[in-house]
Every structure is written in structure tokens, then in C-alpha cells.
Homo-oligomer: A and B are copies of this chain.
Amino acid sequence: MEDAYAYVDDQSDRFLEDLIRLCRQPSISAQKVGLTEMAALTATVMGEYGLQARLLPNGNDAPLVYGFREGRSTRTLLFYDHYDVQPPEPLELWESPPFEPTVRDGKLYARGVADNKANILSRLAALKAILSTGRELPVSVKFVVEGEEEIGSPNLSQFVVDHRELLRADACLWESGGVNWLGQPNITLGLKGILYVELEARGAVRDVHSSLATIVPNPAWRLVWALSSLKDRDENVLISGFYDRVAPPSPRELEVVRAAPSEEEETRENLGLPGFLLGLSGFELKCRQLFAPTCTICGIWSGYTGEGGKTVLPSVARAKVDFRLVPHMTPEDILEKLRRHLTEKGFSDVTVVAREHGEYPARTPLDHPFVAVVQAAARQVYGVEPVITPTMSGSGPMYHFTKVLGLPVASAGTSYPDSRVHAPNENIRLEDFIRGTKHIIAIMERMKDAPPWS
């Protein structure tokens, strides 16, 4: 395998070039921008890197890209990735345009580079490096690269159910991952679920002069009051039954979290915060981050938001709210409880007008043999002990792979804590790209020789 690692170092400029190709193509699922083009480009690059690639239509403009190459052993590793990215707004905060990938100080800046185009290319680069040594891949590989991850993968569930055979594998590597502030690779084994809704309140049929505020209902006030009824200032969600299905973390999960290094100072400084929510720190802070559900205002808008003053009484007010869910909460249950809450609290005028996202939480057991494979490979490549985390605080469609396909799922990737995922100036460090690629090589090699589990 040393030849393959050397190839990665040697060909890093070529890989960077191809990564820039991927990042230059906008692919914003929330805005339906560039998805067909990005799917085609992804398939093209897959072909260039030695895979049989094809597009699997799913009834909209974001076909899934499926890739396959048979390996030397009977084992199969499935890669889950996505070619879509978050909206780039607010544009004015980007130091270089989001879809003009730019290298500065050993980092590549572009919307979607960390989440998750660099991982797509890193995985392809790992295959290319192995194949360059003249040998076949140690395991068969399958790629599922979807174009709707950032809008909640609305079609992935049906796709997985319809393609159980095509997706048959022994394990799955997840789309995200990277090193922590201390340079240790993070291996995470789960995701939170999510419910994403838009709330809307309406008043008069048009904006009116604010002098009428004495007698005309103001939807901005209605929305503010309704939101206030959802969560108190101590972060307790007030929706009746919200916490009913929350499963406490297992003793082993708590143990692993306790053992994980603290990065809170780095995180706090990076975000420019005087302190964390509720004044938490240490073990409590780590537990809350991984094991607590949330209720978050992601956006709110109403009335006049331009420069200066405009004395207007808005006709409509809207908010985007997400709930991160932990086992065994479900988006359906929380949606129903949210609707009931609004009605019961007298806010039947505040409607849930859209349910953008709905995903289940998912976790792979800490003691699964595949976890040991990923862990050992990381130890070898990074030269430090990896950090195992029972779950990320983010969400994704992992449930389809753990529950429907029955696969162990772990993350391994190329980002770092300042990658600014979902934010302006998203970036990766090029050194992380190199090491992440080598990690994939090592995982494939070790997976071939691991004791059987399925």
C-alpha cells in the first residue's frame, strides 16, 4: 500500500484540480440550481477515476449518481455522499465568491467543498491511488451520491427500499468527517434526526401604515408570541410530550464521550463567544451537544428589513424552525405535537406551511467490528489515537442505511472544525484532504482482512 500512499502525495495537484472542477459547479438543492449539471459532472469524474458510473433518475432534476467497481475480495464497501450544497447566502460575507474555488494559505475555499465535495473526490482519489499500483481494489466499492441531502433527502428513502439488491454491502462510509482541533481524526457513528418546518402568520391582506397597529392584528407579534411559547429562556422546549421518547445515552456511550478530548476552548474562541449556552462546560457540554434534542430558529422575517425606518404593519410573518431529534424521537411525532401545541396555546392562526425536512436519528453500536477497522486505519494514517463519537450533532439520512439496509455506518472525511460548513467561507485544509484520502485506502485494505461480521 505504500505505493498508493506515495501516489496520493505525488498526484495531489491533479486531485486539487478535479476538486476545483466539482466545486466550480453550483448545485444548490434548496434553490434548484445546477443539480442536473452537477450529477452529470459527478458521473463523468467517477468514470475518469475508474468506476462504472450511471445516473439513476428519481423523478426530479437531481438524479442519484451510482458508481461501482468490483474488488479482489467478496466484501463490499458502500460510500454515501451528496453532490448538492447549502445556499451560499449571505454572499457579502464571502472573501472569495462561493463558486469560484480559491486556494489561500493551504486551504481551498468554496461552497460545498467540506460538505461534501472534497469527500467525494477523496474517495475517488483513494481508488485511483490503489489502482495505480497495478492491483485491483481490496474490496468492491459502491457509491451512492445523491443531490438532495441538504433539503432532507426526500427521495432517498424510497430509492433505498427500491434498490436493496443494488446497494447490498458489508459496511458504509458516511459523507462527513475529519479531524478535531487537536488534529485527531473523528470517527462518528450516528446522526440526529431532524424536523424542519416553516411557520407562517398572516394579518391584513397587505402591509399597512403602522399607525393602524391599535386595531389591526400584527402577524409579526403573533409569530413572536407563538415562537416564545415553544421554548423558554432556559432552553426547555415547552411542546407537550416533546421529550417523551428521548432515550438516555448508554453507559458505554457516556464513557466514550467522557474520554474524548475537550475542544471547547477552541470552539468558543473560533465562534467568538463569551461562553456557551446555559453556561455549560466540560462533560455536561459534550453530552448536551451529542444527546440533547433542539428547537432552533434558523430564520425569521417580516415587514420592512431595509435601511432606515419604515413605519409599516406587516401582512405576513414567517420563521424557519428546525428540531434536531435523538433516538427514539421521530419527525412525524414532533410535527404532530407542534401542531397540537400551536392549537392548544391559541395560535391556530400560526400555520405550519411547509415541512421541508424529516429524518430519523440513527446510531451504529460502538462495538461493531467495522468501527474497529476504521479506527485502526485512522491510527495508522494519522499517527494518533482517533476519537470515537457515538453520534454527530448534525442530521442526515443515515437511518436508511443502518435500519433499512442493516449496515454499520461510520464517518471518515477531510474537514476540520473551522471548515465553516453551511456558513460563508466554507473551506478545507489541503493537508486534511491528503490524509483523509490515505485513510480511505487504509480502511479498504483493512476491511478485506477483518474478521467476518455479516
Give A residues with C-beta under 8 Å from B: 29-31, 86-87, 89-90, 93, 150-152, 192, 194, 196, 203-218, 220-221, 224-225, 227-228, 231, 233, 271-273, 276-277, 280, 285, 288-289, 292, 294-314, 317-318, 320, 322, 324, 346, 356-357, 392-395, 420-424
Other A-B contacts than A206-B271, A207-B422, 7 sampled, CB-CB below 8 A, are A31-B307, A89-B304, A208-B271, A215-B277, A216-B271, A298-B309, A310-B320
* A–B pairs, 20, beta carbons within 8 Å: A30-B310, A86-B312, A87-B304, A93-B206, A150-B310, A152-B309, A196-B309, A206-B271, A208-B271, A211-B392, A213-B324, A215-B277, A220-B299, A224-B228, A225-B228, A298-B313, A299-B303, A299-B305, A301-B301, A311-B422
CB distance from A222 to the nearest CB of B (A): 9
CB distance from A36 to the nearest CB of B (A): 17
Decide yes or no: A299 and B289 within 8 Å by CB, A208-B423, A320-B304, A393-B214 being known contacts.
Answer: no
Residue of B nearest to A196 (CB): B309
| Residue in contact with A221 in the complex, picked from B90, B297, B320, CB distance below 8 Å | B297
CB distance from A275 to the nearest CB of B (A): 8
* B300→A303 contact, CB < 8 A: yes
Decide yes or no: A306 and B204 within 8 Å by CB, A216-B271, A393-B214 being known contacts.
Answer: no
| Residue in contact with A309 in the complex, picked from B212, B295, B301, B356, CB distance below 8 Å | B356
Q: How far is the CA of A274 from the CA of B135 in the complex (A)?
A: 75
CB distance from A188 to the nearest CB of B (A): 12
Decide yes or no: A231 and B227 within 8 Å by CB, A208-B271, A273-B204, A280-B215 being known contacts.
Answer: no
A298 contact set on B, CB distance < 8 A: 210, 220, 303-304, 309-314
Which one of A151, A224, A273, A421 has the highest number of Cβ atoms from chain B below 10 Å of its Cβ?
A224
A233 contact set on B, CB distance < 8 A: 225, 346
| Residue in contact with A288 in the complex, picked from B214, B227, B306, B395, CB distance below 8 Å | B214
Decide yes or no: A221 and B231 within 8 Å by CB, A215-B277, A297-B314, A301-B300 being known contacts.
Answer: yes
Q: How far is the CA of A346 from the CA of B233 in the complex (A)?
A: 10
A210 contact set on B, CB distance < 8 A: 294, 296, 298, 322, 324, 422
Residue of B nearest to A208 (CB): B423
A86 contact set on B, CB distance < 8 A: 310-312
* B214→A309 contact, CB < 8 A: no
A216 contact set on B, CB distance < 8 A: 271, 273, 276-277
A29 contact set on B, CB distance < 8 A: 308
Q: How far is the CA of A184 from the CA of B215 in the complex (A)?
A: 22
Q: How far is the CA of A93 from the CA of B315 in the complex (A)?
A: 12
Q: How far is the CA of A281 from the CA of B205 in the complex (A)?
A: 20
* B424→A206 contact, CB < 8 A: yes
Decide yes or no: A151 and B308 within 8 Å by CB, A285-B215, A324-B210 being known contacts.
Answer: yes
Report the 9 A-B pairs with minimum CB-CB distance, sorted nearest first.
A30-B308, A205-B272, A309-B356, A299-B303, A220-B297, A211-B394, A204-B271, A211-B393, A228-B228
* B209→A421 contact, CB < 8 A: yes
Q: How far is the CA of A150 from the CA of B311 in the complex (A)?
A: 8
Which one of A196, A296, A314 has the highest number of Cβ atoms from chain B below 10 Å of its Cβ?
A296
A289 contact set on B, CB distance < 8 A: 212, 214-215
* A312→B217 contact, CB < 8 A: no
CB distance from A126 to the nearest CB of B (A): 26
| Residue in contact with A209 in the complex, picked from B221, B227, B288, B423, CB distance below 8 Å | B423
Which one of A87, A211, A312, A395 has the highest number of Cβ atoms from chain B below 10 Å of its Cβ?
A211
Decide yes or no: A87 and B356 within 8 Å by CB, A210-B322, A218-B296, A277-B214 being known contacts.
Answer: no
